[in-house]
Amino acid sequence: MDTVLVTGGTGYIGSHTCVELLNNGYHVLVLDNFSNSSFEPIKRVEKITGKKVKFYEGDLRNKELLRKIFKANNINAVIHFAGLKAVGESCAKPLEYYDNNLYGSIALFEIMNEFNTKKIIFSSSATVYGNNPLPYGEEMPYGIISNPYGRTKCMIEQILGDLSKSCSSWHTIILRYFNPIGAHQSGMIGEEPQGIPNNLMPYILKVAVGDFPELKVFGDDYETPDGTCIRDYIHVVDLAKGHIIALKSLLNSNNQGKNSEGINIYNLGTGKGYSVLELIKTFEKVSKIKIKYSITQRRDGDLPICFANVSKIERELGWKAKYNIEAMCEDSWRWIKNNPRGYKNV
Ligand code: NAD
Ligand code: UDP
pLDDT category of residue 344 using cuts at 50, 70 and 90: confident
The average pLDDT across 1-20 equals 98
Question: Stretch 286-314: mean pLDDT, rounded?
Answer: 97
Q: Which atom of ligand 2 is nearest to the CA of 298?
A: 11
Distance from C-alpha of 9 to C-alpha of 16, rounded to nearest angstrom: 8
CA of 269, nearest ligand number: 1
DSSP string, 46-58: HHHHS---EEEES
Q: Which residues are catalytic?
A: 149
Q: Would you say the CB of residue 70 lies under 6 angstroms from ligand 2?
A: no
pLDDT tens-digit series, residues 206-244: 999 999 999 999 999 999 999 999 999 999 999 999 999
pLDDT tens column, 38-78: 999 999 999 999 999 999 999 999 999 999 999 999 999 99
Condensed to tens digits (0 to 9), the pLDDT of residues 110-157 reads 999 999 999 999 999 999 999 999 999 999 999 999 899 999 999 999
Question: What confidence tier does 171 reach under pLDDT thresholds 50, 70, 90?
Answer: very high
Q: Quick check: 254 pLDDT over 60?
A: no
Q: Is the pLDDT of residue 346 over 60?
A: no
**Confidence band (pLDDT; 50, 70, 90) for 281?**
very high
Q: Exposed (0-12), middle (13-18) or buried (19+): which is 344, by Cβ within 10 Å?
A: exposed
What residues line ligand 1, using a CB cutoff of 6 Å? 8, 10-14, 31-37, 59-61, 81-85, 100, 104, 123, 125, 177, 180
| pLDDT average, residue stretch 169-188 | 97
Q: Which of 211, 32, 41, 6 is nearest to 122 (CA)?
A: 6
Q: Which of 37, 81, 235, 343 to mutate to test the pocket of ligand 1 (most atoms within 8 A of CB)?
A: 81
Q: How many residues does the chain have?
A: 346
Task: Give every CB contact of residue 158 below 8 A, 6+ residues apart in sequence.
Answer: none
pLDDT at 194: 87
Residue 187, pLDDT score: 98
Q: Give the pLDDT confidence score for residue 262 in this predicted structure.
A: 74
Q: Spell out the alpha helix ranges (H) of 24-147.
A: 40-49, 63-72, 87-92, 94-97, 104-114
Helix (H, G, I), strand (E, B) or coil at 232: coil
Counting ligand 1 atoms within 8 A of each CB, the residue from 85, 236, 268 with the most, and so the one to mutate, is: 85
CA dihedral 176, 178, 180, 181 (to 10 degrees): 180
Mean pLDDT of the chain: 96
- Residue 117's pLDDT is what? 97
**pLDDT exceeds cutoff 90 at 292:** yes
Tell me what the mean pLDDT of segment 187-194 comes to. 95
Q: Distance, CA 7 to ligand 1 centroid (Å)?
A: 9
Q: Whose CA is nearest to atom 2 of ligand 2?
A: 217
Cβ-based neighbours of 10, under 8 Å, separated by 6 or more: 30, 32, 34, 37, 38, 39, 41, 42
- At residue 345, the pLDDT reads 65
Work out the pLDDT band at 302, boundaries 50, 70, 90.
very high
pLDDT > 70 in the chain, percent: 98
pLDDT grade for 256, boundaries at 50, 70 and 90:
low
Q: Which range, of 27-31, 95-99, 261-265, 335-339, averages the lowest pLDDT? A: 261-265
pLDDT at 275 over 90: yes
Q: Hey, how many other C-beta atoms are within 10 angstroms of the C-beta on 143?
A: 18
Average pLDDT rounded to a whole number, residues 92-118: 98
- In a mutational test of the pocket of ligand 2, which residue from 234, 276, 300 has the highest number of ligand atoms less than 8 Å from its CB? 276
- In this prediction the pTM is 0.98
Is residue 288 within 8 Å of residue 282, measured between CB atoms? no
